[in-house]
Amino acid sequence: MNVNCDQRQAAGDTKTRHEQKGVSCRRPRVTRHAAFTLIELILVLALLVIITSLAAPAMASFIRGRAMDSEARRMMALMHAGQSRAVSEGVPVVLWVDEKEGSYGLQAETTGEAGDPKAESLAVDATLQIAVMNTGLSAPTSFNNLPAIRFLPDGTVDESSPRKLQLTDSAGFKRWLIETRNRTGYEISDTQP
């Protein structure tokens, strides 16, 4: 049937005998599916590799900065907790720093026989190092032979407490926690004072 339709259409007949009887001589449509070629896929993958290689260093410094920010804010939160506790309980509270172990904590300076039930101890992020910078003229405050920041019952920082703490990451970037001028606490700084 299709051969007859094809022959008549090739001869120039506009309507074939089959079409006159209601039978269509049109060829079935061939549907083509859109797809990517192998070359297009390779080009897209190459572009993704290039973009990733350009973005990776920026992402690494972003993640490194996030760890340092997080640690500095966690220390600030512990300092605020220490000040609040010193004022509310009416006893000096110390924030001690163990540079060798990479840890710090909060504890009441005077504790009973059972110790301080509210004492806290935290570890510094593994990618960071902490250092106490003593810039005061008097003998530095210490607690259990560790440098410490002493919060007094009136909410101020003891004069012999360290003036700044330094956080350093593996790439050498630094951030400081610096005592405020009126000795009411510490603030985070990106530049060394």
DSSP H or E stretch at residue 48: helix 38-89
AA identity, residue 89: E
Per-residue pLDDT of 39-88, as tens digits, reads 999 999 999 999 988 888 777 766 667 888 888 899 999 999 999 999 99
pLDDT at 2: 47
Per-residue pLDDT of 114-132, as tens digits, reads 778 888 889 988 888 898 8
User: Can you read off the two tokens belonging to residue 117?
Assistant: 């039930």
CB contact at 8 A, 174 and 189? no
Return the DSSP state at 35.
-
* Entry pTM: 0.65
User: Can you read off the two tokens belonging to residue 51?
Assistant: 């973009």
pLDDT at 140: 78
Q: Which superfamily does 67-189 belong to?
A: minor pseudopilin epsh domain (3.55.40.10)
Using the predicted structure, report yes or no on whether residue 3 has a pLDDT greater than 80: no
Percent of the chain with pLDDT over 70: 79
Which long-range contacts does 138-146 make (Cβ < 8 Å, 24+ apart)? 141/94, 143/94, 143/96, 143/107, 143/109, 144/96, 146/96, 146/97, 146/98
| Residue 99, Cβ density class (10 Å: 0-12 exposed, 13-18 middle, ≥19 buried) | middle
User: Can you read off the two tokens belonging to residue 91?
Assistant: 């006893």
Q: Domain ranges in the chain?
A: 67-189
